[in-house]
Amino acid sequence: MKEGLLISDQRTQASYEIPIQDGTIRAMDLRQIKTAPDDFGLMSYDPAFMNTASCRSAITFIEGDKGILRYRGYPIETLAEKCSFLEVAYLILFGDLPTEPQLKEWVGQITHHTMLHETTKKFLEGFRYDAHPMGMLVSTVAALSTVYPEARHVQDPEIRRLQIMRLIGKMPTIAAYTYRHSLGYPYVYPDNELGYTGNFMNMLWKMAEPRYTANPALACALDILFILHADHEQNCSANVMRSVGSSRADPFLATAAAAAALSGPLHGGANEEVLKMLDEIGAKDKVPAYIEKVKAGQFKLMGFGHRIYKNYDPRARILKWAADRVFEVTGRNPKLDIALELERIALEDEYFIKRKLYPNVDFYSGIIYQAMGFKPEMFTVLFAIPRTAGWLAQWQEMVEDPEQKIARPRQVYIGHAVRDFVPLEKRSAAPAPVKA
Ligand X SMILES: CC(C)(COP(=O)(O)OP(=O)(O)OC[C@H]1O[C@@H](n2cnc3c(N)ncnc32)[C@H](O)[C@@H]1OP(=O)(O)O)[C@@H](O)C(=O)NCCC(=O)NCCS
**Least gap, CB of 387 to ligand X (angstroms):** 12
Helices vs. strands in the chain: H and E counts, helices first: 17, 5
Residue 301 or 336: the one with the smaller Cβ distance to ligand X is 301
Q: Is the dihedral of CA 298, 302, 306, 312 positive or negative?
A: negative
**Least gap, CB of 286 to ligand X (angstroms):** 17
Distance CA 245, CA 250 (A): 7
**Least gap, CB of 317 to ligand X (angstroms):** 14
**Least gap, CB of 188 to ligand X (angstroms):** 31
Tell me the CA distances in angstroms from 28 to 40, 87, 155, 234, 416, one per residue in order. 12, 39, 26, 21, 27
**Least gap, CB of 79 to ligand X (angstroms):** 19
DSSP 266-318: TTTTHHHHHHHHHHHH-SGGGHHHHHHHHHTTSS--TTB--SS-SS--HHHHH
156 carries an active-site annotation:
no
**Least gap, CB of 352 to ligand X (angstroms):** 7
What residues contact residue 216 under an 8 Å CB cut-off, 6+ apart?
none
Residue 166 or 306: the one with the smaller Cβ distance to ligand X is 306
Catalytic residue among 113, 132, 181, 306: 306
267 carries an active-site annotation:
yes
Could you give phi then psi for residue 74, rounded to 5 degrees? Answer: -90, 130
Q: Nearest-CA neighbor of 177 among 385, 431, 428?
A: 385
**Least gap, CB of 302 to ligand X (angstroms):** 5
Phi and psi based region of residue 312 (left: phi greater than 0; alpha: psi -120 to 50; beta: remaining): beta
Residue 260 or 270: the one with the smaller Cβ distance to ligand X is 270
Distance CA 93, CA 191 (A): 25
Residues that bind ligand X (CB under 6 A): 266, 270, 294, 300-307, 355, 357, 360-362
- Residue 69: half-sphere exposure toward Cβ, Cα within 13 Å: 28
Catalytic residue among 267, 313, 401, 420: 267
Distance CA 19, CA 140 (A): 46
DSSP 8-state class, residue 187: P
Residue 242 or 315: the one with the smaller Cβ distance to ligand X is 315
**Least gap, CB of 272 to ligand X (angstroms):** 11
Distance CA 231, CA 229 (A): 6
Residue pair 106/92 in contact by the 8 Å Cβ criterion:
no
Residue 190 or 269: the one with the smaller Cβ distance to ligand X is 269
H-type alpha helices, 62-117: 76-82, 85-94, 100-112
By DSSP bridging, strand 15-19 and strand 74-75 are unpaired
Tell me the CA distances in angstroms from 134 to 178, 202, 431, one per residue in order. 8, 20, 41
Residue 114 or 394: the one with the smaller Cβ distance to ligand X is 394
Residue 144 or 274: the one with the smaller Cβ distance to ligand X is 274
Residue 307 or 332: the one with the smaller Cβ distance to ligand X is 307
Catalytic residue among 231, 250, 313, 362: 362
285 carries an active-site annotation:
no
DSSP 8-state class, residue 50: T
Q: Nearest-CA neighbor of 171 among 425, 385, 428, 315?
A: 385
Which residues are tagged catalytic?
Answer: 267, 306, 362
